[in-house]
Amino acid sequence: MGVYLNPASDGFQESLNSEIYVDKSAMIGKLNRLAGTKQKYVCVSRPRWFGKTMALEMLAAYYTSAHESRHLFAGLAIEDDPSFEKHLGQYHVICLNIQEVMTDAGDVTGLGCFLHKKLAADVKNSQLGSSVEGESLTEFLGSLYQATGQKIVFLIDEWDCIFRIRRDDNVAHGVYLDFLRHLLKDRSYVTLAYMTGILPIKKYGIHSALSMFDEYSMTDPRNLAEYVGFTGPEVAALCGRYGMDFADAADWYDGYSFPGAPSVYCPRSVVTAMLCGRYSNYWTQTETYEALRAYIEMNIDGLRDDVVALLAGDRRRVNTQGFTNDMVTFAGKDDIFTLLVHLGYLGYDMDSGEVFVPNKEIADEFRTATGNMGWQEVLVAVSASDALLEATWRMDGESVAAAIEAAHMETSHLSYNDENALSYTVSLAYYSARKYYTIVREFPSGKGYADMVFLPRPRHMDKAAMVVELKWDKGAAGAIAQIKDKRYPSALADYKGNLLLVGLGYTKKTKTHRCAIERVAV
């Protein structure tokens, strides 16, 4: 077994040995349908912690002809796929972690020569035959194919590292893309090329010739959506196995959603939570976290106000098409939002074209990033939210109004001129309520839509459900009257009297907030 050619299956074996292993082997069947076709070039981009390397180790174990791996897939989903026998152990596999290869090669211009030398050593050590030769890397690989009769599956990890680490080195970018194109495009020895990284294929002038790759990304994972991360049923099964609350898991780690996979969770966070027995923020600060801070701080096109709105639970419509798939070229805030989708810091709704903060774990990341940048107004509004929630539960309308007033002052950089802006302030002020409630904006109820509804989570059914109606330049009493007139509580009959009606009004002339709270029997 070689270093790069037909490596051992130790990595996948370790995954199988782990206390938690979620079977994603059915993905192999989808790739088998692409092998040896015009669609054999696949680029899968995912954020950190979403299982990219594990998937490559699984593919390497399955496709390699260098050693028997059938036993590794016994009982897994792929074993029942019609293509299982046809492709199992039928190819040479070349596995490249580009970040490691570039470190060992010393320079991007030497990648071809370095890999030629290393692969030649792998062939020699594996005793595949002395007839394998060639003056260049591509000639050598062509000779390997001719001598053995086996095509090659290329598995390339961290394919985009050069664009993340050497962000401004356009010369190196071009050299690297030329290398990949020359290595893979229209080569008879390629039966499948599977690249993975954080970013999709770089759009870079003539080097967009890597367009032979089909992209499966966080903005459109196509038919690989269920393999982006753990699905809802998979996480529910883990919660049952470890005695963890599924609703809390969804609150912390759900939120990524795609056609065909409406609930997708970050695998690493879920596994860590199950093994630790505690839900928390398990994202580790990496270069992507530093990118989050840097791009928010740039405040392009008023991005700062949009981030506050997103933290308050709002969405923003984004055009993802102009993004050039690097970390330095931004024509506007749409490009930054698109990058944050690929980094996993925002979810993306393909149908509406909107971005949003997907879950509590990511919201915590935004809070930390903005706090480190000196956005004290956000931290103050959030830290005061516990007191606001307590005041609401005890029906202290005066204290609630004062707390909303304070939150407004802390977020006064926002354009505060309509009911929507008022809702941002209220959502931020009630930030800590997410520990106890599922918060739904524009909740269909009775004769219309309630502005905000707070539904107690299963573990907190002792808390009162709340219907919150907002009135811009009108009184709080009018908000309560509208709740009753439109019969909003009718949709919450299950709460049997444990329901609060909260009317919040803002008077433009006096610049003051008012609050009225009533407890009603449903």
Residue that finishes a domain, picked among 372, 406, 436: 372
Confidence at residue 449, expressed as pLDDT on a 0 to 100 scale: 65
Residue that finishes a domain, picked among 192, 216, 240: 216
> What is the percent of the chain where pLDDT is above 70?
90
Residue keyed to tokens 């990219």: 52
pTM: 0.84
- Tokens, residue 44: 């899968």
416-444: pLDDT as tens digits: 555 666 777 787 788 878 888 888 877 67
Q: Are residues 312 and 436 in the same domain?
A: no
Q: Which residues of 178-213 are buried (b: 16+ CB within 10 A; e: fewer)?
A: bbbbebbeebebbbbbbbbbbbbbbebeebeebebb
Taking the alpha carbons of 151, 143, 9, 196 in that order, is the dihedral positive or negative? negative
- Tokens, residue 397: 């309308």
User: Stretch 12-19: mean pLDDT, rounded?
Assistant: 96
Confidence at residue 300, expressed as pLDDT on a 0 to 100 scale: 80
Confidence of residue 106 (pLDDT cuts 50, 70, 90): confident
Q: Are residues 196 and 335 in the same domain?
A: no
Secondary structure in 3-state letters for 289-341: HHHHHHHHHHCHHHHHHHHHHHHCCCCEECCCCCCCCCCCCCCCHHHHHHHHH
309-336: pLDDT as tens digits: 788 778 899 999 888 887 777 888 999 9
Q: Are residues 197 and 264 in the same domain?
A: no
Is 123 a domain residue? yes
CA distance 462 to 350: 37
Q: Are residues 315 and 350 in the same domain?
A: yes
Q: Are residues 84 and 142 in the same domain?
A: yes
Q: Is the pLDDT of residue 381 over 80?
A: no
Residue keyed to tokens 């580790």: 284
User: Stretch 354-362: mean pLDDT, rounded?
Assistant: 93
Q: Is the pLDDT of residue 276 over 90?
A: yes
Rg, C-alpha atoms of the chain:
27
Q: Residue 139 belongs to what domain range?
A: 10-216
Is 408 a domain residue? yes
β-pair partners for 195: 43, 156
For the chain, helix, strand, coil in percent to 5 are 50, 20, 35
Q: Are residues 386 and 363 in the same domain?
A: no
Q: Is 8 exposed, middle or buried (0-12, 13-18, 19+ CB in 10 A)?
A: middle
Confidence at residue 238, expressed as pLDDT on a 0 to 100 scale: 98
Confidence at residue 418, expressed as pLDDT on a 0 to 100 scale: 59
Count Cβ atoms below 10 Å from residue 4 Cβ, excluding itself.
Answer: 17
What CATH number does residue 72 fall under? 3.40.50
Q: Are residues 381 and 469 in the same domain?
A: yes
Residue keyed to tokens 């909740």: 443
Confidence of residue 255 (pLDDT cuts 50, 70, 90): very high
- Tokens, residue 428: 């931020």
What CATH number does residue 454 fall under? 3.40.1350
Q: Are residues 386 and 440 in the same domain?
A: yes
In DSSP notation, 59-107 reads: HHHHHBSSS--GGGGTTSGGGGSTTHHHHTT-BEEEEEEHHHHHHHHSS
* Of residues 146 and 460, more confidently modeled: 146
Phi-psi region of 232 (alpha: psi -120 to 50; beta: other; left: phi over 0): alpha
Q: Is the pLDDT of residue 119 over 80?
A: yes
Confidence at residue 522, expressed as pLDDT on a 0 to 100 scale: 53
Residues 6+ apart with CB under 8 A from 451: 419, 423, 441, 442, 468, 469, 470
Residue keyed to tokens 């070229």: 329
Q: Is the pLDDT of residue 472 over 80?
A: no
Confidence at residue 134, expressed as pLDDT on a 0 to 100 scale: 87
Q: Are residues 131 and 150 in the same domain?
A: yes
Confidence of residue 355 (pLDDT cuts 50, 70, 90): very high
Confidence at residue 237, expressed as pLDDT on a 0 to 100 scale: 98
Is 133 a domain residue? yes
Q: Are residues 255 and 356 in the same domain?
A: no
**Quick check: helix, strand or coil at residue 436?**
coil
Cβ 467 vs Cβ 453: under 8 Å: yes
Q: What is the largest CA-CA distance in the chain?
A: 89
Confidence at residue 292, expressed as pLDDT on a 0 to 100 scale: 72
Q: Is the pLDDT of residue 42 over 80?
A: yes
Q: Are residues 46 and 136 in the same domain?
A: yes
Number of domains in the chain: 4
Is 183 a domain residue? yes
Is 2 a domain residue? no
CA distance 119 to 129: 13
CA distance 245 to 255: 17
**Quick check: helix, strand or coil at residue 361?**
helix
CA distance 45 to 199: 6
Is 221 a domain residue? no
Q: Are residues 97 and 209 in the same domain?
A: yes
Is 184 a domain residue? yes
Confidence at residue 301, expressed as pLDDT on a 0 to 100 scale: 83
Confidence of residue 494 (pLDDT cuts 50, 70, 90): confident
52-99: pLDDT as tens digits: 999 999 999 999 998 889 999 999 999 999 999 999 999 999 999 999
Residue that finishes a domain, picked among 169, 190, 216: 216
How many residues in total does the chain contain?
522
Instruction: Give me the amino acid identity at 7.
Output: P
197-235: pLDDT as tens digits: 999 887 655 556 688 999 999 999 999 999 999 999 999
